[in-house]
A and B are shown apart, each in its own frame.
Chain A
Amino acid sequence: MIELSHIEKRFGDAVILRDINLLLPERSVTALIGPSGGGKSTLLRCINLLEIPQAGRLRIGDESIDFAEGRKIGWKDIRRIRLQTGMVFQNFQLFPHRTAIQNVMEGLVTVLGWPEAKARARAMELLEKVDLAHKADAWPASLSGGQQQRVAIARALAPSPRVLLCDEPTSALDPELSQEVVDVLSALAREGTTMVMATHDIRLASRIADQVVFLEAGRVVETGRGADIFSHAAEERTRRFVASIHAAGGASAG
């Protein structure tokens, strides 16, 4: 279980997240939707401490951490939380100087100190899972965007994190390539991987999210089951936003 209580994040005077309270059950998929600049990415990055909130409390499984104005969070605490998480980025961010399998092994060998052979076996297993075992020795630059993102998913899953954070995982991909990433993420969801994803991709969100959180101007406007939010959201603002992305999706598909 992941629990965010009263999380607040500011950059200078700009308040990016205010009083965020969320409960993300184990083995569930949560989609964060909302307009750009609404705080989706920042919220994700607060969960693995790429951004440190100014206030609130974060709990991932047995690990928890409290934030306060001016309190410096030490590396030990950051590491303790971060090792519970894996992250997938909009632009993949594979290490270009390492092959696909080396990308997946990197965290296991460098961070967790696994022996090479054990890490390689684990990495191969994950590449099979994302259907890229045949590309194990390929350089990232020779892979398509969809393939790169699948390697990135394998890299994020390598140390068996408690939660997979996906920041716009399909936004940099055309519809065909994004389909293969959606397929992989759906398969992971079915297996019970706990996921939180920021996304504009209705297809992705409606297909795999158990819970949808609509975020605007740093606030949670509405939280609900995917089916409810996408068909009959309680808040007028949420309905308008859902209608707008449906319209945009329809236009780009047509």
Chain B
Amino acid sequence: MPHWLQLMIDSLPTLLLAGLTFTIPLTLISFVLGLALGLVTAIARLFGPAPLVAVARFYVWIIRGTPLLVQLFVIFYGLPSIGILLDAFPAALIGFTLNIGAYSSEIIRAVISSVPRGQWEAAYSIGMTWRQAMTRTILPQAARVAVPPLSNTFISLVKDTSLAAAITVPELFQSAQRIVATTYEPLILYIEAALIYLAMSSVLSALQVRLEARFARYGGMLEANR
């Protein structure tokens, strides 16, 4: 067996374990929390009173306008100076959640707006409340349109979690760095790490395809609703 393959096989359990215990939980938890935050932010911007709209816009402005790595550093290395001490994993979780919340809020805002006004009226005309119209009529239709852009966000997140290495989270990429430190084989180990990220992204792409197929069962958008 060639040396490079032997090295890859030997490192695989360590890398996979790091992925399983840090990368994947970090991705899933911050995506779910981030989506919830994004939904709240989008609704605040679309339907909230002026002060709430301002808060939502300010939040999105700050998060989108500054580098994710810098945000992580502020949370993990910066906040302790004002007495807020966080472990690396929760610090990363907060950083990624805030990030996903800002980006997904823009997507969610757009897809909610894309549902024709007539659908609100149809929902109201049968007596639904705003909340019923939102959850039963508008969001299910918006969700369909949101699958491709939110999948983009999700896949970006999987890869962005490697930034957590910089704030000492022992996730997949940091594990690779550690092995490199003892084996001096950066090319082999970093390619291996890249392949594992590629595999995770591919699983998500496949899930996207299935989700889109599921939504496609009710056919095209209604001609008259365009």
A152 to B, closest residue via Cβ: B122
- Mark each residue of chain B from 205 to 226: 1 if its CB lies under 8 Å from any CB of chain A, else 0: 0000000000001111111110
Number of A-B pairs, beta carbon distance below 8 Å: 85
In the complex, identify which listed stretch (A23-31, A83-91, A192-200) lies at the interface while the others stay far away: A83-91
* A48 / chain B contacts, CB cutoff of 8 Å: 125
Q: Does A205 contact B (CB under 8 A)?
A: no
Among the interface residues A97, A141, A159, which one has the most CB atoms of the partner chain B within 10 A? A97
Known: A89-B118, A156-B126. 12 other contacts (CB 8 A): A91-B118, A93-B224, A94-B222, A96-B218, A96-B225, A97-B140, A111-B126, A111-B127, A140-B222, A141-B221, A141-B222, A156-B125
Q: Does B182 contact A (CB under 8 A)?
A: no
Q: Does A11 contact B (CB under 8 A)?
A: no
Complex Cα distance, B144 from A151, in Å, reads 23
A95 touches which of B119, B144, B217, B220 (Cβ 8 Å): B119
Q: Does B162 contact A (CB under 8 A)?
A: no
The answer to whether B219 touches A142 (Cβ under 8 A) is yes
* A112 / chain B contacts, CB cutoff of 8 Å: 127
Q: Does B179 contact A (CB under 8 A)?
A: no
Q: Does A73 contact B (CB under 8 A)?
A: no
* B122 / chain A contacts, CB cutoff of 8 Å: 87, 89, 93-95
From 112 to 168 in chain B, residues with beta carbon under 8 angstroms from any chain A beta carbon are 116, 118-119, 121-129, 132, 136-137, 140-141, 144
Among the interface residues A86, A96, A156, which one has the most CB atoms of the partner chain B within 10 A? A96
Q: How large is the interface on B (under 10, 10 to 19, 20 to 34, 35 or more residues)?
A: 20 to 34
* B225 / chain A contacts, CB cutoff of 8 Å: 91, 93, 96
B141 touches which of A82, A85, A97, A139 (Cβ 8 Å): A97
A143 to B, closest residue via Cβ: B222
Q: Quick one: given A91-B118, A97-B144, are A107 and B126 in contact (CB under 8 Å)?
A: yes
**22 sample A-B contacts, Cβ–Cβ < 8 Å, listed by A number:** A50-B125, A82-B124, A86-B125, A87-B125, A89-B121, A91-B225, A93-B121, A95-B122, A96-B225, A97-B144, A110-B128, A110-B132, A112-B127, A139-B218, A140-B219, A140-B222, A141-B222, A145-B224, A148-B224, A155-B126, A156-B126, A159-B126
Q: How far is the CB of B84 from chain A (nearest CB, A)?
A: 42
Complex Cα distance, B116 from A145, in Å, reads 18
Q: How far is the CB of B136 from chain A (nearest CB, A)?
A: 6
The answer to whether A110 touches B136 (Cβ under 8 A) is yes
A75 to B, closest residue via Cβ: B129
Complex Cα distance, B123 from A93, in Å, reads 9
Complex Cα distance, B138 from A96, in Å, reads 11
Q: Does A210 contact B (CB under 8 A)?
A: no
The answer to whether B118 touches A141 (Cβ under 8 A) is no
* B218 / chain A contacts, CB cutoff of 8 Å: 96-97, 139-141
From 202 to 232 in chain A, residues with beta carbon under 8 angstroms from any chain B beta carbon are none
B124 touches which of A50, A86, A92, A94 (Cβ 8 Å): A50
* A92 / chain B contacts, CB cutoff of 8 Å: 222, 224
The answer to whether A79 touches B137 (Cβ under 8 A) is no
Complex Cα distance, B7 from A142, in Å, reads 57
Q: Does A201 contact B (CB under 8 A)?
A: no
Q: Does A106 contact B (CB under 8 A)?
A: yes
Complex Cα distance, B120 from A58, in Å, reads 23
The answer to whether B132 touches A111 (Cβ under 8 A) is yes
Q: Does A172 contact B (CB under 8 A)?
A: yes
* A107 / chain B contacts, CB cutoff of 8 Å: 126-128
Q: How far is the CB of A219 from chain B (nearest CB, A)?
A: 25
Among the interface residues B119, B219, B220, B222, which one has the most CB atoms of the partner chain A within 10 A? B222
Complex Cα distance, B122 from A156, in Å, reads 9
Q: Quick one: given A50-B121, A139-B219, are A91 and B224 in contact (CB under 8 Å)?
A: yes
Q: Quick one: given A140-B222, A172-B224, are A82 and B125 in contact (CB under 8 Å)?
A: yes
Q: How far is the CB of B89 from chain A (nearest CB, A)?
A: 38
A-B pairs with lowest CB-CB distance, top 7: A141-B219, A107-B126, A93-B122, A91-B224, A87-B125, A111-B127, A93-B118
B143 to A, closest residue via Cβ: A97
* B129 / chain A contacts, CB cutoff of 8 Å: 75
Q: Quick one: given A87-B125, A106-B126, are A93 and B119 in contact (CB under 8 Å)?
A: yes
* B125 / chain A contacts, CB cutoff of 8 Å: 48, 50, 82, 85-87, 89, 156
The answer to whether A148 touches B222 (Cβ under 8 A) is yes
A112 to B, closest residue via Cβ: B127
Q: Quick one: given A91-B225, A95-B122, A110-B132, are A159 and B127 in contact (CB under 8 Å)?
A: yes
